[in-house]
Amino acid sequence: MRFEVEAVLFDIDGTLVDSTPAVERIWETWAGRHGLDLEAILRVCHGRRSEDTVALFLPADERAAAVAELEQLELEDLDRVEALPATRDLLPRLPARRWAAVTSGSQRIMRARLTAAGLPVPEVLVAAGDVTAGKPAPDGYLKAAAALGVDIERCLVVEDAPAGLAAGRAAGARTLAVTTSHDAAELTDADATVPDLSRVAVEVRPDGLVVTAG
């Protein structure tokens, strides 16, 4: 599949960075403290803001403290946070105004994870606190495209989770799925699907990017 676009908008966890072991440890610790079912949490947390996941399990008056607790756990646990295949080669070759990251995590956590994985932090990084509605709402991707000064319909969203793909499609972007955290059968809404970014080539042109996936 070939995409001619002006910019690529990446998710972070599961797309650029493998933080699954850390994420699952954090949710396990948090669920244990609150007497909640870990498996139920893991079924819904991927690709969503912590506050949106917490809202499914705790009453309103407990949520703010619980989200702060989660963020502290995340900042303290960066063990085994690693760059996913090809990301260390790909990202530095992209012009700064041709890519952005859109994440369901916080600015502090995502910057820490990118740094721990040895990856560059983009000029445009839209995080959980930067939008009113998180994925699968399109807000984050729309904000990233606007910050880059490009039309969202001329963007490619790269995601690993159904909620993120839904956000990209709702925004009006083309979508590319990587099967780094979910089976391809769960990512059928994507325009194209690859195992990881080692199967993606990017040609930089004066007016944009040509992304070939396959």
Structure tokens, 171: 């925004």
d(CA 10, CA 157): 6
Q: 147, 152, 193: which is closest to 15 by C-alpha?
A: 193
Question: Greatest CA separation found in the chain?
Answer: 55
3-class SS of residue 38: helix
**13 among known catalytic residues:** yes
Which letter does DSSP use for residue 13 in this model? Answer: B
Please tell me which residue in 13, 52, 139, 160 is annotated as part of the active site.
13
Question: Is residue 11 among the annotated active site residues?
Answer: yes
Catalytic residues, by residue number, are 11, 13
